């Protein structure tokens, strides 16, 4: 078979740097040429039709065109495909047979990111999208004690939600995150850190700096507290990574690469110093972990400090399993958890570490973990947008169905937001419980 028609590749997938520092990256004619090339290959393949809204949108545009080919689609409609992509990265990870080093060199998520960046630079972005991706600013404002109650009340009021729909385009049925005036930073300031001598292993230093994230700080500080308790229970000292801000993932998904770069400068400076002091880095949100493990290194591949942080960053359950392999994990559990319906978060899958959360939880006696490897469709902000909420819920429907079929004692996801998206789909009054919170429950601490 000729190499030009070779199906897939036997070589391990690789990833090229994003290339935002090159002039061609920002050239719109070059972008549209590449969009047309990739769209045409996707049209001939169609493996990814079930992953998200981008591919059905693309294929409908083609099938409804006069030619039933990409050349029949108006260039202005190319943006509809871009807008439906929320950078879950699953097409690259699980479906596409033409990723590099294949000669067709398809990296659909980063092509969409390039398009989003050009669109943002042109100023073609909604005020709503700038607002809801400014997570630090929103969190600081909404965490002011009196304002917290007001914001949470507004977010749960049918009348004001309809107003938000009309004025900002926030879907009235989307489940908005709650805010806490007692942030993780405030709670941790009162913590009496345990006196623990770090016990390093071949792959871990045995002491942790927690990049607590805007979400764990302002929206679910309990997750951060549970993470600290679990790691201390495993004789791993924990400090918070002070002097940091949002990892930049929401702005990346918006295409605001300048904001991503500014956030990186702040975060990498703080985290690299902690790495120099012997700390490993963990985060409670898979997207934040992925930002340091993959996206920033692909944006700044020559930055030694970025690579230093990349090499020291771990998913929390990945870290615990590494410790377990060298007999440094506390397996003295007190409470079995029964059956757990476990949604595997997209940005955790993309880290290519395997199901470490399942492996840890199944160390608990009389505990069965039932994984669901489907995107929840949440994407941080995607489900909040009026024009995309129905699609987000449609993507989540198979996950919700599996959770119902499993009839488990708990349902969970490493992505807390995905967990709440499943909660919205279930609409039965049940609540998700984060895996780290389940682990704390099993320890009885």
pLDDT tens digit sequence for 3-25: 455 666 667 889 999 999 999 99
Q: Would 352 be classed as within a structural domain? A: yes
In a shared domain, residues 200 and 286 = yes
In a shared domain, residues 361 and 294 = no
- Whether pTM > 0.95 for this model: the answer is no
In a shared domain, residues 314 and 346 = no
Q: Would 8 be classed as within a structural domain? A: no
- Number of domains forming the structure of the chain: 3
If you average pLDDT over residues 79-92, what whole number do you get? Answer: 94
Omega of the bond leading into 178 within 30 degrees of 0 (cis): no
* Domain C-terminal end among 276, 295, 322: 322
In a shared domain, residues 437 and 348 = yes
CA distance 368 to 152: 35
* Domain C-terminal end among 121, 138, 168: 121
In a shared domain, residues 61 and 95 = yes
- The pLDDT, as a whole number, for residue 159 is 94
* Domain C-terminal end among 287, 322, 357: 322
Q: Would 146 be classed as within a structural domain? A: no
Q: Give the pLDDT confidence of 197-206 residue by residue, as tens digits.
A: 999 999 999 9
In a shared domain, residues 206 and 223 = yes
- The pLDDT, as a whole number, for residue 21 is 96
* DSSP tag of 219: T
In a shared domain, residues 318 and 345 = no
In a shared domain, residues 233 and 314 = yes
In a shared domain, residues 314 and 355 = no
Q: Would 19 be classed as within a structural domain? A: yes
- The pLDDT, as a whole number, for residue 145 is 87
Q: What percent of the chain has pLDDT over 90?
A: 92
In a shared domain, residues 82 and 192 = no
In a shared domain, residues 350 and 277 = no
DSSP string across 137-182: HHHHHHTSHHHHHHHHHHHT-HHHHHHHHHHT-B-TTS-PPP--SS
Q: Would 432 be classed as within a structural domain? A: yes
Q: Would 198 be classed as within a structural domain? A: yes
* DSSP tag of 294: I
- The pLDDT, as a whole number, for residue 9 is 65
- The pLDDT, as a whole number, for residue 113 is 98
If you average pLDDT over residues 22-43, what whole number do you get? Answer: 97
323 pLDDT band, cuts 50/70/90, is very high
Q: Would 108 be classed as within a structural domain? A: yes
CA distance 316 to 313: 9
- Write out the two tokens for 150: 């007001």
- The pLDDT, as a whole number, for residue 379 is 83
If you average pLDDT over residues 185-190, what whole number do you get? Answer: 95
Q: Would 305 be classed as within a structural domain? A: yes
Mean pLDDT of the chain: 94
Q: Give the pLDDT confidence of 214-245 residue by residue, as tens digits.
A: 999 999 999 999 999 999 999 999 999 999 99
With CA atoms as reference, report the closest residue to 246 among 86, 136, 382: 136
Q: Are strands 280-282 and 313-314 parallel, antiparallel or unpaired?
A: parallel
What residues make up the domain containing 371? 331-443
In a shared domain, residues 365 and 410 = yes
- The pLDDT, as a whole number, for residue 200 is 97
If you average pLDDT over residues 147-171, what whole number do you get? Answer: 92
Domain harbouring 391, CATH code? 3.40.50
57 pLDDT band, cuts 50/70/90, is very high
Angle at CA of residue 384, ends 381 and 387, nearest 5°: 110
Start-to-end CA distance of the chain, whole Å, equals: 61
If you average pLDDT over residues 27-53, what whole number do you get? Answer: 95
């Amino acid at each position: 078979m000729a190499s030009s028609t070779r199906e897939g590749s036997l070589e391990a997938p690789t990833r090229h740097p994003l290339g935002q520092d090159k002039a061609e990256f920002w050239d719109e004619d070059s972008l549209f040429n590449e969009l047309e090339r990739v769209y045409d290959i996707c049209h001939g393949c169609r493996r990814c039709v079930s992953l998200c809204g981008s591919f059905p949108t693309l294929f409908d545009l083609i099938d409804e065109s006069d030619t039933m080919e990409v050349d029949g689609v108006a260039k202005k409609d190319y943006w509809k495909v871009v807008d439906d992509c929320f950078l879950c990265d699953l097409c690259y990870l699980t479906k596409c047979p033409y990723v590099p080093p294949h000669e067709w060199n398809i990296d659909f998520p980063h092509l969409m990111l390039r398009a989003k960046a050009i669109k943002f630079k042109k100023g073609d972005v909604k005020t709503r999208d700038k607002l809801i991706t400014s997570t630090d600013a929103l969190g600081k404002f909404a965490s002011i004690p009196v304002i917290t109650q007001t914001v949470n009340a507004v977010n749960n009021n049918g009348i004001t939600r309809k107003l938000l729909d009309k004025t900002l385009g926030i879907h009235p049925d989307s489940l908005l995150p709650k805010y806490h005036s007692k942030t993780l930073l405030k709670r941790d300031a009162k913590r009496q850190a345990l006196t623990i001598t770090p016990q390093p292993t071949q792959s871990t230093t045995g002491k942790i700096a927690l990049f607590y994230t805007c979400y764990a700080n302002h929206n679910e500080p309990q997750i951060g507290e549970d993470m600290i308790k679990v790691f201390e229970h495993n004789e791993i000292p924990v400090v918070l990574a002070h002097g940091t801000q949002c990892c930049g993932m929401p702005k990346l998904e918006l295409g605001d690469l300048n904001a991503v770069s500014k956030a990186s400068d702040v975060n990498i400076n703080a985290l690299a110093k902690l790495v120099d002091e012997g700390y490993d880095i963990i985060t409670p949100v898979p997207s934040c972990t992925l930002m340091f493990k993959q996206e920033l290194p692909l944006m700044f591949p020559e930055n030694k400090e970025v690579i230093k942080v990349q090499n020291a960053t771990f998913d929390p359950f990945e870290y615990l399993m590494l410790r377990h392999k060298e007999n440094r994990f506390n397996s003295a559990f007190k409470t079995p958890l029964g059956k757990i319906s476990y949604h595997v978060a997209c940005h955790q899958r993309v880290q290519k570490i395997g199901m470490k959360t399942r492996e840890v939880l199944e160390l608990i006696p009389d505990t069965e973990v039932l994984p669901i490897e489907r995107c929840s469709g949440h994407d941080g902000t995607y489900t909040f947008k009026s024009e995309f909420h129905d699609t987000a819920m449609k993507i989540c429907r198979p996950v919700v169905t599996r959770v119902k079929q499993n009839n488990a004692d708990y349902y969970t996801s490493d992505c807390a937001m995905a967990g709440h998206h499943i909660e919205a789909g279930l609409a039965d009054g049940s609540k998700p419980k984060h895996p780290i919170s389940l682990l704390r429950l099993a320890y009885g601490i």
